Structure formats: C-alpha cells, structure tokens
A and B are shown apart, each in its own frame.
Chain A
Amino acid sequence: MARSQDLEVQEKKELVSKEEKTVPSRYYMPNTDIYETDDALTVVMEIPGVQKKDMDIHIENDVLRVEGRVDFGNYEGMEPLYTEYNVGHFARAFTLSSKIDQQQITAKVEDGVLTLTLKKAREAMPRRITVS
C-alpha cells in the first residue's frame, strides 16, 4: 500500500464512556492500531505525554482497560496564547476474545506510544497438520 503522503491532523476524540469519572477533567481516546499475527495480538496506542509510571493496564472479564495519565505539573506557570489541541488523560477499553493467554501480556512505552503484546492461548494458535 502506498502511503508516502503527508501527515494530516487528526482531531483528538474525547472519550465517551458509560461510566463517569469522579473528577470532571477530560479524557481522550488514544489512536489505536490493532493487528494480529500467528501467535499474538498487538495493540498500539498513542499516548503522548504519559510516562511509564502513569500507565494503568488491566484485564478483567476479558476487557482490556488502558488508562494513561498526563502530568499537568509540566504546564505550571504556562499561560496559553494560542492553542490547536487540548490536553487530557487517555483511556480506552477493548473486549478481548478469550483466546488470549492472560498470563503472557507484555507492555512497552516508547516515544509516547504504548505497545501491548497479547500472546494467544495455545489452543488458539494455528496448527499445521501434515498428511502422513
């Protein structure tokens, strides 16, 4: 696929959630790529401004929840003059198929991008059957 064109601005989407937060600050939906290989499902999320220690990832009832908190302390003493985007925490949840081995999930944060590798459960891996 040819994709050498210029990057376009993607407006940040505010998170619409069934549950409300107790603090009335805004949350945004991180842009996410999800792809599958033979042995794993990989979830890649853009969470600019979130440090490793402010990431919260957990799985409960086959729902993967990711929350990343931005450190607003960095903005102390700054007076906005001209703005094109808003800043907020990130949160998003996905329902997983039960084919995931919940014990084998790895997470990595680099340059504002979270990469989650969810290994498939053994029984879900494709098996090659040789004809004897």
Chain B
Amino acid sequence: MAVLFTDPIDWISQFQQALDNFRTSGWLGSSPSGSGGYPPLNVFRKGDDLVLIAELPGIRKSDLQIQVKGNTVRITGRKGIEYGDNAALHRRERSAGGFDRAISLPVELDADNVKAEYRDGILALYLPRAERDKPRTIQIG
C-alpha cells in the first residue's frame, strides 16, 4: 500500500496512522525474525531498497556497531548515562545499558553498499537489495 500525501496538513496524521497500521503487519512473517527487543525499529521501502530507522537518543556514534550479512542486520551498542557527583535525582525515566538486536528481513541485502547515518539520535540504515534479489521483467516471447 502506497501512502500518498496530498494535503500537507493531513500529511503528518496520515503518516502517523500508517505507522500505527503497520505495527500489526505480518511482514516479517512467523519466522524467527531476530533477537533482542531494543531498539524498536521501523522498516520502510524506498524505491527498490529498504530503509531501517531506529531511535537511539543519547548514544555516541563510537558506541554503536552495525553488521549486515545476507538478509540479517545486527545493531549492538551501549548507552551510558552520567549524572555527575553530588546530584540528587528528582526524576529518572531514561535508562542505560547494553543492547544487541538482530532482525532478518525477507529480502537479500547488498551488504557492501549499506549506508548508515546517525544524526540527532536517529539511526538510519539504507539497505540496498542485492542485485540477484531484484525483480526482473520477463518479456513474453
């Protein structure tokens, strides 16, 4: 289903609605789709390729590792929180710790051409489809 945004005012709420709808999508199927729960991921399609996005606020780029092999993406890292000495905590909602998440996508990826971007606490992975996995147009002879 393509999400078409015509009215700019409606655009955001339609997009948010679409994001909600796909929370129940069975796109990953019933196959064991990976391990670990953090970070939550969103997967989008952009043209032929996939884009995987995760919110990872407060993690240093150097504390984040990404591995791609076949159709599996693994994101590992550690988030640290420092309060400094002599600080009296009033409210603590953020959490710190390590994470290791793997997700298997139903398409073969071109691991050599994966691009990763981390900006403003958002990790975006551009995952091109492997050439051999792309659909081919068959001419009817």
Task: Return chain B residues, CB-CB under 8 Å to A79.
Answer: 1-3, 44-46
Which of the 9-residue segments B15-23, B65-73, B133-141 touches chain A? B15-23
A10 touches B58 (CB 8 A): no
Known: A6-B36, A88-B12. 18 other contacts (CB 8 A): A5-B98, A8-B37, A9-B39, A23-B12, A24-B13, A25-B12, A33-B89, A36-B87, A49-B55, A78-B45, A80-B43, A81-B27, A82-B27, A87-B42, A111-B59, A111-B60, A112-B120, A113-B121
Known: A33-B92, A36-B90. A49 touches B38 (CB 8 A): no
Also in contact, A84 and B40, with CB within 8 A (given A78-B51, A112-B56, A113-B121): yes
- Given that A4-B97, A7-B79, A46-B94 are contacting pairs, would A35 and B87 also be in contact in the complex, using a CB cutoff of 8 Å? yes
Across-interface contacts of B23 in A (CB, < 8 A): 83-84
Q: Which residues of B contact A78 (CB under 8 A)?
A: 44-46, 51
The DSSP consensus for interface residues of chain A is: loop
B50 at the interface (CB under 8 A from A): yes
How far is A51 from B47 in the complex, measured between Cα atoms in Å?
26
Question: How many angstroms from the CA of A31 to the CA of B96 in the assembled complex?
Answer: 12
Which residues of chain A have a CB within 8 Å of any CB of chain B? 3-10, 23-26, 31-38, 41-42, 44, 46-51, 72, 75, 77-88, 109, 111-113
- Assess the A83–B94 pair: CB atoms within 8 A: no
| B57 interface neighbour in A34, A46, A81, Cβ under 8 Å | A46
Which of B61, B89, B91, B99 is in CB contact (< 8 Å) with A7?
A: B99
Return 10 A-B CB contacts under 8 Å, by A number.
Answer: A6-B97, A9-B38, A46-B57, A48-B55, A81-B22, A83-B19, A85-B55, A111-B57, A112-B57, A113-B121
Tally chain B residues at the interface, Cβ within 8 Å: 62
Chain A residues, Cβ within 8 Å of B20: 83, 86
Pair count A-B, CB < 8 A = 173
Partner of B25, one of A51, A82, A113: A82
B86 at the interface (CB under 8 A from A): yes
A35 touches B90 (CB 8 A): yes
B59 to chain A, nearest CB (A): 6
A34 CA / B83 CA spacing, docked (Å): 9
Contact B42–A84 (Cβ < 8 Å)? yes
A10 CA / B55 CA spacing, docked (Å)? 11
